């Protein structure tokens, strides 16, 4: 009969695989956000807000991404949502990873090159979302805010998401954040893309047996 260490090894390997996928996904998520920002054709609403706050306060945009993520997590409390490991790491790591990307990515000279960088960033973000959500450690802070409002009050998810993101976008734009055609392209493209990447990259549940048989 296999000993307990031998039986638990496959489970530990499976968990390690999920954690690695989570961290890789978060890194590429931050890097993709940096690519879209450098493209200067428009970014997602939350990055518009973070950029506006950066321009207003002088604090780096990556740190504002962290601060906003933690503020959103606090809003989970009245919604009775419980964050997972992926939720917390998303709030803490995407901003610093974005700052790393900004160190190595420059804004291209031509409009065509900027759109190519933007499109690559959107695709990378969709793949990154599939990796970190598919790892099964919980949704990002903003996703949980919307599903939590739906579960707590019965509000439609689309209505909650649209209301929050329009509000965030308008505040960020008023502060000087980069709203552009790319923001609209992102809004219409990211949903269909992650609809494909999340199922495709989801880590299957552990199917091993610990009975020793």
How far is 46 from 28, CA to CA, in rounded Å? 17
Who has greater pLDDT, 25 or 156? 25
Q: Dump pLDDT digits (tens) for 122-176.
A: 999 999 999 998 898 988 888 778 777 877 888 886 777 778 888 999 999 999 9
Q: State CA 71 to chain mean position distance.
A: 15
Residues in CB range of 212: below 8 A, 6 or more apart: 1, 2, 7
Q: Dump pLDDT digits (tens) for 72-83.
A: 999 888 888 888
Alpha carbon distances (Å) from 78 to 81, 82, 89, 147, 181: 8, 11, 21, 13, 35
Cβ–Cβ under 8 Å, residues 202 and 22: no
Alpha carbon distances (Å) from 18 to 5, 86, 180: 20, 10, 36
Instruction: Decide if pLDDT at 5 tops 80.
Output: no
User: Model's pTM, two decimal places?
Assistant: 0.86
Cβ–Cβ under 8 Å, residues 140 and 84: no
How far is 31 from 46, CA to CA, in rounded Å? 15
Residue 211: the pLDDT is: 42
Residue 213: the pLDDT is: 38
Q: Give the SS3 label for residue 82.
A: coil
What's the average model confidence in pLDDT over 8-13? 82
Q: Give the SS3 label for residue 86.
A: helix
Q: Give the SS3 label for residue 3.
A: coil
């Amino acid at each position: 009969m296999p000993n307990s260490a031998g039986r638990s090894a496959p489970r530990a390997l499976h968990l390690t695989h999920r954690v690695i996928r989570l961290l890789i996904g978060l890194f590429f998520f931050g890097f993709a956000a940096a690519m879209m920002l450098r493209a200067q054709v428009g970014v997602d609403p939350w990055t518009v807000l973070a950029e506006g706050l950066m321009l207003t306060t002088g604090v780096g945009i990556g740190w504002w991404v962290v601060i906003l993520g933690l503020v959103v997590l606090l809003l989970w409390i009245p919604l009775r949502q419980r964050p997972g490991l992926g939720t917390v790491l998303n709030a803490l790591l995407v901003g610093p990873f974005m700052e790393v990307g900004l160190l190595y990515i420059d804004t291209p000279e031509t409009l065509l090159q900027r759109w190519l960088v933007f499109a690559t960033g959107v695709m990378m973000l969709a793949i990154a979302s599939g990796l970190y959500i598919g790892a099964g450690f919980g949704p990002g802070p903003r996703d949980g805010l919307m599903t939590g409002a739906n579960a707590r009050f019965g509000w439609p998810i689309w209505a909650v998401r649209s209301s929050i993101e329009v509000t965030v976008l308008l505040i960020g734009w008023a502060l000087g954040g980069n709203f552009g055609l790319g923001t609209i392209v992102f809004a219409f493209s990211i949903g269909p893309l992650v609809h494909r990447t999340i199922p495709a990259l989801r880590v299957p549940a552990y199917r091993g047996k610990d009975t020793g048989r």
